[in-house]
């Protein structure tokens, strides 16, 4: 098979941070190369260099034997490179069709031919078996659906090399399986694929070769046959990682969070949480298992008082939480790791230190009355950066220049470093590397053991199964069953999630 | 503001403003040249008039004083993510209110009368802003629309008031009576007292933005409203507060102009001060300290405009033209992207935040 992409001796630094150091790699036609590495290892930087979004300090990138001018995205696209970015690049207020054609619109008499565009969008979606609603507005779509649009957009031009930067981070296991199938088909047609993920299962399932980065350096390449999940984890992190969660028996006590007859509607004003009641005890982790879009998001947002309740009550430590007042929920003792870290979790132009006190900036010790105590903010930042292993030169870097997983760690660090009564964790390990997943899991267990009531919502059934003490299955806005994790059975839960009676 | 400034000196914040000035001067130079005049001569006259002598500097700073304040009024709102086009209306309202307080109260000592008249100005400036603030915070009406409309309303209302109830009696002119001597703001060290007031307000607001919880709230809402709201900051309160501060500061700008320069309220005497404030705020990168040099620069250009016309024969519109070009270049984001050359940070859209 012909070599499609040659990366030769590429290095790139941002100030004192070496993101890539003398990396050489190749991708052949029809090959799926998985790129693995810790958060901040330099994966995104490397693929951005291939796509011309980052100008390497040294080294060359060849596509089909031609040396690419560095920092020239247009040339990369012209030579058949398509990229799905780690963070969405869609225009939120436009429709799926409009997003798909943006930048290369079919025209008639000089104006965009929207009928034709719509046809093209549907044909594209058909061709790759990625179903989308061509007329939906992007901001109304769940993230998994938006991700599909993003992938279709990359596929629209005739790509020879497809780069995907953590495309599965926001997908459900089912959607992921579908995507992996799409990738296999593309590879069969001769497309070379460069695929970044933190999920070792996917790597083992789909990769032809695996390259591992650590601290900006290439640690080596291997194949799924020669390797195993734990070997890969060790190669990435440089130490042994416990992939299975180890925890003691839960000792549940009094009810800390109770939800009574909650009804909530979604953005389209459809009722998506339907008369739901639930109790979470001190000292236990309650996992919500369900297919994305069955009311989990609305449930979480209603508990945290971010979304208006149609009716029902949320009671924390015996005290009712008022409607639409996130501050009251926070003061009542609710910590929340939000699903959308960029929208609700961070102010990306602020420093890490400021982000770490975002919901406490006006409380002691971070403020004395009206005056902020910037020294406390700084020392809190430094100690949390250290404790939560946020990979940054210091705590004053803007949060926006962190790698994706490290952004997540900032949010987790803030929420889990305060007085904990109720922890609502929505997709807490999304986009985080295996080493940090272990760490975040241990922090959630530590919160539980310290007497917090933990509500865990995750699209990863494995995460729920391994972390939760009790599992509630949500389907169509209702809790359809609750299991003790010991008696939980994967298949039964899967059937319930799909809306089938067990 | 950042918890701690990074140790390296970072010049990028002033790069775009400086470049805009240079590019505007270059284009202006070409236009002067087309008139058959040596641009270097014109610019030298401009510079020496504004900054070449103590008297020149004093006049420049006097011109800069209301501009610092109106720039501050726009800048504070920009920090909160609000575009206050209404500084002009707020300023006129403050100017008229302070004039009324200045001529109505008789027999007060200056130490009481001046602050009282200033407070009148601040209050009535804020009152105009309050309308836009309430509509924005509770009804979601865009502040650009409401502040523009309020400008027209305030101008019409001030015309009515100065030609009827507040009119100077037995006079053909449409203007209020002159303020009492006790309300007249004196000079200090050869400079208008208002200048020191403006500098003091700038430093105070800069300090508030940097060191207080209020400043952090305003800044956070301006940068990511969703995250701010979610972190427990009241978006409504923050919008109200920053608009009211902006309105009050614009009102003080009008009051200072009335109490130290004009001595009464006359319609059209304050024309454009509020609009220049927009240029000042953008040129000063919405930084409460940044507006000071920006206002001095623009004040200098305003102060020397007519001299340049006399001595170099340049059309008097030159200064307006230069200001318009500076405004254009400083806002043209393409310029920023081009010179920053940090493609990887330029997102195609605002993404999911905001
Ligand atoms: N624009 C930038 N300015 C400063 N530092 C940057 C910038 N972009 C990346 N970095 C730094 O370079 C390093 C590599 O980042 P990169 O985004 O490539 O990591 P990654 O391997 O993709 O991580 P993740 O799995 O978390 O997405 C990180 O330490 C990051 O903070
Ligand atoms: Mg990345």
**ipTM of the assembly?**
0.83
Q: Is the CB of A341 under 6 A from ligand 1?
A: no
3-state DSSP percent of chain B in helix, strand and coil, to 5: 70, 0, 25
φ, ψ of residue B265 in degrees (nearest 5):
-105, 125
For residues A223 and A257, state if they share a domain.
Answer: no
- Is A255 a member of any domain? yes
User: From ligand 1's centre to the CA of A51, what distance in Å?
Assistant: 16
Question: Which residue's CA lies nearest to atom 7 of ligand 1?
Answer: A401
pLDDT at A150 (0 to 100): 87
Nearest CA residue ID for atom 8, ligand 1:
A401
Domain match, A148 and A283 both = no
Torsion-angle region of B104 (φ positive above 0: left; ψ -120 to 50: alpha; else: beta)? alpha
Contact B232 A327 (CB under 8 A): yes
Which CATH number is A36's domain given?
A: 3.40.50.300
The answer to whether residue B328 is domain-embedded is no
Query: Do A271 and A225 share a structural domain?
Result: no
Q: Report residues of chain A scoring pLDDT below 70.
A: 501-502
**Residue A363 forms part of a structural domain:** no
Which B-chain residues 195-224 have CB contacts (< 8 A) with chain A? 211-217, 220, 223-224
Q: Is the CB of A197 under 6 A from ligand 1?
A: no
Domain with A480, as residue range(s), is: 245-333+457-502
Whole-angstrom Cα distance, residue A388 to residue A474?
31
Tally the C-alpha atoms within 13 A of residue A138's C-alpha that lie toward its C-beta. Answer: 22
* The total number of structural domains that make up chain A: 2
Q: What is the pLDDT of residue A501?
A: 63
Protein residue closest via CA to atom 12 of ligand 1: A19
Nearest-Cα distance to chain A for B214, in Å, is 7
Note whether residue B326 is domain-resident: no
- Structural domain total, chain B: 1
Determine the distance separating the centroid of ligand 2 and the alpha carbon of A404, expressed in angstroms.
5
Q: Establish if A408 belongs to a structural domain.
A: no
* Inter-chain residue contact A326 with B230, CB threshold 8 Å: yes
User: Which residue of A44, A167, A396 sits with most ligand 1 atoms within 8 Å of its CB, as the best mutation to test the pocket?
Assistant: A44
- Say yes or no: A230 and A249 in one domain: no
Contact B223 A54 (CB under 8 A): no
Counting ligands in written order, the one closest to the CA of A407 is 1
Phi-psi region of A65 (alpha: psi -120 to 50; beta: other; left: phi over 0): left
* Cβ <8 Å between B224 and A347: yes
Whether residues A208 and A138 share a domain: the answer is: yes
Q: Are residues A273 and A208 in the same domain?
A: no
CA of B239 relative to ligand 1 center, distance in Å: 35
Q: Please identify every stretch of chain B with a pLDDT value under 50, giving residue numbers as ranges.
A: 1-8, 334-335, 338-354
Residue B334 lies in a domain: no
Which pLDDT value is given to residue B169?
Answer: 81
Percent of chain B with pLDDT over 70: 90
Q: Is residue A373 one of the residues assigned to a domain?
A: no
Give the closest residue to A491 by CA, choosing from A482, A480, A502: A502
Beta-carbon separation of B223 and A91 below 8 A: no
Of A73, A87, A306, the CB nearest to B230: A306
Neighbours of A299 (CB within 10 A): 28
Shared domain for A25 and A73, answered yes or no, is yes
CA A299 to chain centre: 19
Instruction: Look up the domain containing B297 and give its range.
Output: 65-303
Ligand 1 contacts CB of residue A173 (under 6 A): no
B287 assigned to some structural domain:
yes
State in Å: Cα A396 to ligand 1 middle: 15
One domain for residues A75 and A131:
yes
pLDDT score recorded for residue B2: 42
Spacing, Cα A217 to ligand 1 middle (Å): 13
The number of residues in chain A equals: 502
User: Is the CB of residue B285 less than 8 Å away from at least one CB of chain A?
Assistant: no
**Rounded Cα gap, residues A425 and B269, in angstroms:** 60
For residues A73 and A100, state if they share a domain: yes
Q: Cα-Cα-Cα-Cα dihedral of A454, A457, A462, A464, to 10°?
A: 30
Residue among B17, B97, B71 at smallest CA distance from B199: B71
Cβ of residue B346 closer than 8 Å to a chain A Cβ: no
Residue A43 in contact with ligand 1 by CB distance below 6 A: yes
What is this structure's pTM? 0.83
Same domain assignment for residues A217 and A255? no
Claim to verify: residue A53 and residue A153 sit in the same structural domain: yes
Quote the ligand 1 centre to B5 CA distance (angstroms): 21
> Strands A371-372 and A367-368, how do they pair?
antiparallel
According to the model, what pLDDT value does residue A421 have?
Answer: 92
Sequence-distant (≥ 6) Cβ neighbours of residue B51 within 8 angstroms: B57, B60, B300
Ligand 1: residue of A14, A194, A389 to mutate (most ligand atoms within 8 A of CB) is A14
Q: Is the CB of A481 under 6 A from ligand 1?
A: no
Judgement on whether residues A26 and A125 belong to the same structural domain of the protein: yes
- Pick the ligand that lies closest to the CA of residue A392: 1
CA distance A470 to A68: 54
Peptide bond into A365 cis (omega under 30): yes
Residue B280 forms part of a structural domain: yes
Do A342 and B352 count as a contact with CB atoms less than 8 A apart?
yes
Final residue of a domain: which of A197, A218, A237? A237
Q: Indicate yes or no: CB of B211 within 8 angstroms of CB of A342.
A: no
If you take atom 28 of ligand 1, which residue's CA is the nearest one?
A40
Q: Do A48 and B344 touch (CB under 8 A)?
A: yes
DSSP B170-239: T-SSS-PPPPPGGG---EETTEEHHHHHHHHHHHHHHHHHHHBHHHHHHHHHHH-HHHHHHTT--HHHHH
Q: Is A337 in the pocket of ligand 1 (CB under 6 A)?
A: no
Q: What pLDDT score was predicted for residue B336?
A: 52
């Amino acid at each position: 098979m012909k070599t499609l992409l040659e990366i030769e001796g590429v290095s790139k630094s941002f100030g004192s941070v070496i993101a890539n150091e003398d990396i050489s790699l190749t991708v052949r036609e029809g090959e799926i190369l998985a790129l693995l590495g810790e958060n901040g290892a330099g994966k995104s930087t490397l693929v951005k260099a291939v796509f011309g979004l980052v100008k390497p300090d040294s080294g060359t990138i060849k596509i089909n034997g031609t040396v690419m001018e560095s920092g020239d995205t247009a040339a990369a696209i012209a030579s058949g490179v398509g990229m799905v970015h780690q963070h969405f690049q869609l225009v939120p207020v436009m429709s799926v069709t409009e997003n798909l054609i943006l930048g290369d619109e079919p025209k008639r008499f000089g104006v965009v031919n929207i009928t034709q565009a719509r046809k093209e969008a549907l044909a594209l979606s058909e061709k790759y078996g990625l179903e989308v609603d061509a007329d939906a507005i992007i901001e109304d779509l769940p993230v998994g659906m938006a991700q599909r649009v993003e992938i279709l957009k990359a596929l629209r031009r005739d790509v020879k090399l497809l780069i995907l930067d953590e495309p599965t981070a926001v997908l459900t296991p089912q959607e992921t399986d579908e995507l992996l199938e799409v990738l296999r088909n593309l590879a069969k047609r001769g497309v070379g694929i460069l695929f970044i993920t933190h999920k070792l299962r996917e790597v083992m399932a789909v990769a032809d070769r695996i390259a591992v980065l650590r601290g900006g350096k290439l640690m080596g390449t291997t194949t799924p046959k020669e390797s195993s999940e734990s070997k890969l984890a060790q190669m990435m992190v440089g130490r042994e990682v416990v992939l299975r969660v180890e925890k003691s028996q839960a000792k549940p006590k009094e009810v800390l969070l109770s939800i009574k007859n909650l009804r909530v509607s979604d953005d389209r004003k459809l009722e998506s949480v339907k008369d739901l009641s639930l109790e979470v005890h001190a000292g236990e982790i309650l996992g919500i298992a369900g297919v994305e879009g069955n009311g989990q998001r609305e449930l979480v947002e209603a508990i945290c008082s971010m979304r208006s309740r149609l009716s029902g009550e949320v009671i924390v430590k015996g005290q009712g939480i008022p409607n639409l007042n996130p501050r009251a929920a926070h003061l009542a003792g609710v910590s929340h790791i939000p699903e959308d870290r960029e929208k609700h979790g961070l102010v990306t132009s602020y420093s890490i230190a400021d982000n770490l006190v975002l919901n406490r900036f006006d409380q002691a010790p971070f403020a004395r009355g009206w005056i902020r105590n910037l020294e406390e903010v700084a020392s809190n930042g430094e100690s949390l950066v250290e404790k939560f292993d946020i990979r940054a030169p210091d705590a004053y870097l803007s949060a926006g220049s962190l790698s994706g997983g490290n952004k997540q760690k900032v949010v987790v660090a803030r929420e889990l470093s305060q007085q904990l009564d109720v922890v609502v964790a929505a997709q807490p390990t999304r986009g985080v590397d295996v080493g940090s997943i272990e760490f975040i899991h241990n922090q959630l267990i530590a919160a539980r053991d310290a007497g917090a009531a933990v509500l865990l919502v995750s699209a990863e059934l494995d995460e729920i199964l391994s972390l939760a003490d009790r599992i509630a299955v949500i389907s169509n806005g209702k809790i359809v069953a609750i299991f003790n994790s010991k008696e939980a059975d994967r298949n039964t839960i899967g059937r319930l999630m799909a809306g089938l009676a067990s | 503001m950042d918890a701690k400034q990074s140790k390296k000196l970072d010049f990028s914040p002033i790069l775009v403003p400086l470049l805009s000035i240079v590019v505007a001067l270059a284009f202006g130079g070409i236009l002067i040249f087309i008139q058959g005049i040596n641009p270097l001569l014109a610019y030298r006259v401009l510079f020496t008039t504004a900054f070449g002598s103590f008297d020149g500097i004093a006049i420049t700073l006097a011109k800069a004083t209301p501009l610092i304040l109106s720039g501050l009024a726009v800048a504070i709102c920009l920090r909160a993510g609000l575009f206050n086009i209404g500084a002009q209306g707020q300023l006129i309202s403050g100017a008229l209110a302070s004039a009324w307080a200045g001529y109505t109260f008789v027999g007060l000592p200056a130490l009481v009368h001046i602050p009282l008249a200033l407070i009148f100005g601040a209050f009535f400036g804020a009152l105009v802003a309050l309308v836009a603030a309430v509509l924005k915070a509770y009804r979601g009406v865009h502040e650009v629309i409401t502040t523009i409309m309020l400008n027209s309303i305030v101008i019409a209302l001030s015309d009515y008031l100065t030609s009827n109830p507040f009119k100077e009696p037995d006079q053909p002119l449409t203007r209020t009576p002159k303020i009492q001597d006790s309300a007249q703001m004196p000079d200090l060290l050869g400079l208008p007292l208002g200048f020191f007031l403006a500098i003091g307000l700038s430093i105070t607001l800069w300090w508030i933005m940097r060191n207080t919880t209020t400043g952090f709230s305003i800044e956070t809402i301006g940068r990511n409203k969703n995250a701010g709201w979610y972190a427990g900051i009241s978006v409504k309160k923050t919008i109200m507060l920053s608009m009211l501060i902006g309105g009050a500061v614009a009102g003080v700008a009008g009051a200072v102009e009335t109490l130290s320069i004009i001595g009464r309220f006359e319609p059209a005497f304050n024309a454009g001060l509020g609009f220049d404030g927009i240029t000042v705020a953008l040129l000063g990168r919405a930084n409460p300290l940044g507006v000071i040099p920006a206002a001095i620069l623009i004040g200098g250009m305003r102060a020397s405009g007519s001299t340049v016309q006399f001595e170099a024969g340049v059309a008097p519109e030159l200064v307006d033209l230069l200001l318009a070009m500076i405004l254009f270049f400083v806002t043209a984001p393409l310029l920023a992207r081009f010179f920053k050359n940090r493609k990887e940070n330029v997102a195609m859209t605002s993404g999911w935040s905001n």
